[in-house]
Structure 1
Amino acid sequence: MSSLPLTRRSIFAQAWPIMLGQASVPLVGFVDTAVIGRTGNAAELAGVALGATVINLIFWSFGFLRMGITGMTAQAAGARDDDEVRAMLVRGLAAGLALGLVLFAAQLLLIPAAFAVLAGSPEINAPATEFVEARFLGAPAALGFYALIGWLFGLGRSRAALALQVVMNVANIALDVLFVWHFDMGARGVGYGTACAEWIALATGLAIAAQVLGRPGMIAMKGRIRGFFAAAAMRRMFAVNADIMIRTVALLILFTWFANAGARLGAAPLAANHVLMQLVSFAAFVLDGFAFTAESRVGMAIGAASRAQFLKAIRLTGEFSLGAGMVFTFAIALAGTPYVAFMTQDPQVRAAAGALIPYVAILPLLGVVPWLLDGIFIGATQGRALRNAALASTALYIGTDLMLRPFGAHGVWLAMLAAYVYRAGALGWHFPALLRRVERGEVAQHPVGP
């Protein structure tokens, strides 16, 4: 499993399938909403929305399985340590399935606790609970999928990852329609559809992984599985992933605070923020294509103990990230008002959203730096720096939001822009130390292979 060439052509070839796959993620949410919205009542639609928030908070807290596995797999690939590449797949899948089973077993405690925090009316909580209970059936598959797709990203197998995402998204859409429209299962049917799609995606992913490993790789794994779980390797994996988990939870708190800040201002500002955040989410998902590519290329450079490749990987992915960020900024500035007019007919929401478009337009350009730095530090498996930067930027953001409350919706968005500056600054502060460690060869987990 050799490293990939480090050229602009190869960077783009690796990034575009990720961008396409990421762009398809919001489509599934749109279909979920449309399916239940056209057949259920308002309470069921609100219940799916609330339930999705609960699932995202719980499941994505384990997103470290995707990020940590990507960095460590890339480093092993860069060091040409095929045995460790295979070990990372087995370790990641084992951890994901085990943690998913724990989540499934703990749902009797987690679900009531989540709805106690995100309190809704009994009319909304009932379908939301049905949706969440159904989604928990897919918890082991969802977390196993995180590890599997992280492994593919680490190897630079972005087309295989795209195929896997397409399978999951198509299955999700088809099963949602089947369970809701044909079997009239409402919010629970949407949850069942997604849970089944996660198991289908996991099974498909295992077949793809077997193809990537090839027959020689599968044979080489026989009799060595126990060695893949050596104490030192497991300690390192969980140490890196524990820090990334704290980082992820801190950022989830940041975005939950932002949502609550909009809700505090009333219905029209909250609806305006929801409409505008679709633009932000789409830009972030697409630009993540270059951040994920940076994870892989930086990890491979570190595995190969090459400072030159490390810096070149950053420069090439940075060029693409900056260019894409500028495109999104200009596109939102030009098309933001027509987009708002298309998304809502409410004059109050239109007015509130229209006044905030300049903030939304600049956000992708500001986000380029922290998103790319995230990719660099994930590829370098620098969990402690990621954790500290996320904690610091979240604390600073909350303080800034509190200070800017007199400015209403403008203050809410100014604080969000500041949060991206804080993340960039905090990770940038750690970068010189990372570069020194790369120069001394202290980051790589493996010696350079033959």
Structure 2
Amino acid sequence: MTALLLTRRSIFAQAWPIMLGQATVPLVGIADTAVIGRTGDAVALAGVALGSTVINFVFWTFGFLRMGMTGMTAQASGAGDEDEVRAMLVRGLALGLAIGAMLFALQVAIIPAAFALLAGGEALDRAAQGYVAARFFGAPAGLAVYALIGWFLGLGRTRAALVLQVVMNCINIVADIVFVWRFGMGARGVGFGTAIAEWSALFVGGAIALSVLGPGALAAIRTRGRAMFDGAALKRLFAVNADIMIRTVALLTTFAWFANAGARLGTVPLAANQVLMQFVSVSAFVLDGFAFTAESRIGMAIGKGARGDFLRAFRLTGEFTALAGTGFALGIAAAGPWLVAAMTDNAAVRNMAGDLLIWTALVPLVGAPAWLLDGIFIGATGTRALRNAAILATILYVATDLLLRPWAATGMWIALLASYVWRALALGAYLPRLTRSIAETPSRA
């Protein structure tokens, strides 16, 4: 595999396709919100919000298919093990398709159980359940795409990841508009649009992966056959992924708790939070461009056994993350009122979102350290630290939210900000140990 230089220019060259591709992910959420919001139906808008919470919790429980793939593929690439790079792709796709098929089969139990725990009303639950049921059709493809994107990022093939995400999200937006505005399918139509986009992306991503591997890739994969699923490799895969799965469930619990807190306050607060969370999504996904770059660079540094490369990658990605976090905070504060008005016609939702906007603007600034540290530890496959930090941060978040309940919606957002602080502090405590574990070699600037 080609070595990657560690300079600001090379870091940005690797990061910008991820940032652009990641920006299209929350743009789909914004499109979903706007397509429903422009109908003026607050129940349908809140239904997408509540349904998205369920889907995000269920699907991102298996987010290790993206995160574990990135760190392990980067380390294999850094060590020059091309057979293992190919094997990681096959394992990731097989695991994603298998788990997705299982979720599709179990949706008859998952959907009622999920909505029994959420504080929605009858009409709200009906809209949300329609969205969730439609999304389950895309579960096998969606989880396999997680693995594909993680594999591309691990190799530093960020432009391939960009193409895949742009194709998927463009199809998603077009399908949403057709199903909602043309056929009047409401929240269910948004779900079907996403499922169709996920299946399309799987086929496009598979073709791109074969192109990245080059001529003879299929023959090499067939030659190794069952060796790709040898016991030691699978044991490591599941050990890494089990910790990431627990970590992901803990973080998803934070956002499920946040969404349920909004639902408990009523339809208007929940709908307002759905609008504001689009700003959070854009910030987090775009800033993840530097976190994902850190995953790849950190993984490769560890694969080579180069502490100098590790420290330089951490510093350079940290500089970009701090700058971008500050820019997003200022941008949301300045453009937020106009963007809220563009996303919904409902006056009550607009007013509440406007009142809470200042807290939303602080998220990219406060959350940036936690997002970057996630990338550092994912690239290092330091999954035990990720797991422990997420569990501790979630417990402290819930305690903070309960303490701030008298402040209603404002208290909810302050507690969410605090959750990022708890996570960054917990991961930061593990950082010196991680640094000491890497061999002392010169940086390759």
Whether the aligned pair in 2 keeps the contact of 1:244 and 1:387 (CA below 8 Å) is: yes
2:306 aligned residue: 306
Shift of residue 126, structure 1, vs aligned partner: 3.6
Amino acid at match of 1:69: M
Deviations 1:109-135 (A, max 9, x none): 112211222254443434433332222
Aligned pair in 2 of structure 1 residues 340, 140: CA closer, same or farther (>3 Å)?
closer
**How do 1:18-417 and structure 2 match up within 5 A?**
18-36=18-36, 44-118=44-118, 120-182=120-182, 185-265=185-265, 269-340=269-340, 352-417=352-417
Amino-acid identity (%): 66
Shift of residue 187, structure 1, vs aligned partner: 4.2
**Whole-angstrom CA distance in 2 between matches of 1:260 and 1:150:** 30
Aligned pair in 2 of structure 1 residues 170, 240: CA closer, same or farther (>3 Å)?
same
Whether the aligned pair in 1 keeps the contact of 2:73 and 2:88 (CA below 8 Å) is: yes
Aligned pair in 2 of structure 1 residues 284, 186: CA closer, same or farther (>3 Å)?
closer
Aligned pair in 2 of structure 1 residues 94, 308: CA closer, same or farther (>3 Å)?
same
Whether the aligned pair in 2 keeps the contact of 1:276 and 1:360 (CA below 8 Å) is: yes
Shift of residue 216, structure 1, vs aligned partner: 3.4
**Whole-angstrom CA distance in 2 between matches of 1:266 and 1:53:** 16
Shift of residue 440, structure 1, vs aligned partner: 7.6
Deviations 1:215-262 (A, max 9, x none): 133332232021111101101101111111111111111122223334
**Whole-angstrom CA distance in 1 between matches of 2:182 and 2:378:** 43
More deviation, 209-218/403-412:
403-412
1:448 aligned residue: none
Shift of residue 213, structure 1, vs aligned partner: 0.2
SS of 1:395 mapped into structure 2? helix
Aligned pair in 2 of structure 1 residues 276, 134: CA closer, same or farther (>3 Å)?
closer
Deviations 1:319-343 (A, max 9, x none): 1111111212222344445545655
Aligned pair in 2 of structure 1 residues 268, 192: CA closer, same or farther (>3 Å)?
closer
Aligned pair in 2 of structure 1 residues 127, 394: CA closer, same or farther (>3 Å)?
closer
Whether the aligned pair in 2 keeps the contact of 1:2 and 1:80 (CA below 8 Å) is: no
When normalised by structure 1's length, the TM-score is 0.90
More deviation, 253-262/315-324:
253-262
Whether the aligned pair in 2 keeps the contact of 1:65 and 1:147 (CA below 8 Å) is: yes
More deviation, 194-203/260-269:
260-269
Amino acid at match of 2:388: N
Amino acid at match of 1:394: T
**Whole-angstrom CA distance in 1 between matches of 2:91 and 2:412:** 42
**Whole-angstrom CA distance in 2 between matches of 1:45 and 1:409:** 18
Aligned pair in 2 of structure 1 residues 223, 135: CA closer, same or farther (>3 Å)?
same
Whether the aligned pair in 1 keeps the contact of 2:119 and 2:263 (CA below 8 Å) is: no
Aligned pair in 2 of structure 1 residues 184, 368: CA closer, same or farther (>3 Å)?
closer
**Whole-angstrom CA distance in 1 between matches of 2:263 and 2:122:** 19
More deviation, 189-198/258-267:
258-267
Deviations 1:75-109 (A, max 9, x none): 00111111110010011111111111111111121
Whether the aligned pair in 1 keeps the contact of 2:100 and 2:143 (CA below 8 Å) is: yes
**Whole-angstrom CA distance in 2 between matches of 1:363 and 1:280:** 7
**Whole-angstrom CA distance in 1 between matches of 2:327 and 2:293:** 19
SS of 1:156 mapped into structure 2? coil
**Whole-angstrom CA distance in 2 between matches of 1:266 and 1:137:** 30
Aligned-residue CA RMSD in angstroms? 2.5
Aligned pair in 2 of structure 1 residues 115, 59: CA closer, same or farther (>3 Å)?
same
Aligned pair in 2 of structure 1 residues 315, 245: CA closer, same or farther (>3 Å)?
same
When normalised by structure 2's length, the TM-score is 0.91
SS of 1:215 mapped into structure 2? coil
More deviation, 230-239/172-181:
172-181
Amino acid at match of 2:117: V
Amino acid at match of 2:219: I
Whether the aligned pair in 1 keeps the contact of 2:243 and 2:387 (CA below 8 Å) is: yes
Residues paired across the two proteins, number: 441
Amino acid at match of 1:282: V
**Whole-angstrom CA distance in 1 between matches of 2:107 and 2:28:** 24
Aligned pair in 2 of structure 1 residues 99, 341: CA closer, same or farther (>3 Å)?
closer
Whether the aligned pair in 2 keeps the contact of 1:3 and 1:80 (CA below 8 Å) is: no
Deviations 1:267-299 (A, max 9, x none): 655454444332222111111110111011100
**Whole-angstrom CA distance in 1 between matches of 2:43 and 2:341:** 26
Shift of residue 438, structure 1, vs aligned partner: 1.4
Whether the aligned pair in 2 keeps the contact of 1:291 and 1:372 (CA below 8 Å) is: yes
Deviations 1:377-434 (A, max 9, x none): 0000111110000000111111122222334444333322221111111000011111
SS of 2:69 mapped into structure 1? helix
SS of 2:219 mapped into structure 1? helix
Deviations 1:327-361 (A, max 9, x none): 12222344445545655677766665455444333
Aligned pair in 2 of structure 1 residues 42, 370: CA closer, same or farther (>3 Å)?
closer
Whether the aligned pair in 1 keeps the contact of 2:42 and 2:268 (CA below 8 Å) is: no
Whether the aligned pair in 1 keeps the contact of 2:14 and 2:156 (CA below 8 Å) is: yes
Unaligned residue ranges in structure 1 (runs of 5+): 442-450
**Whole-angstrom CA distance in 1 between matches of 2:86 and 2:408:** 52
Whether the aligned pair in 1 keeps the contact of 2:68 and 2:378 (CA below 8 Å) is: yes
Aligned pair in 2 of structure 1 residues 332, 8: CA closer, same or farther (>3 Å)?
same
SS of 1:5 mapped into structure 2? coil
Unaligned residue ranges in structure 2 (runs of 5+): none
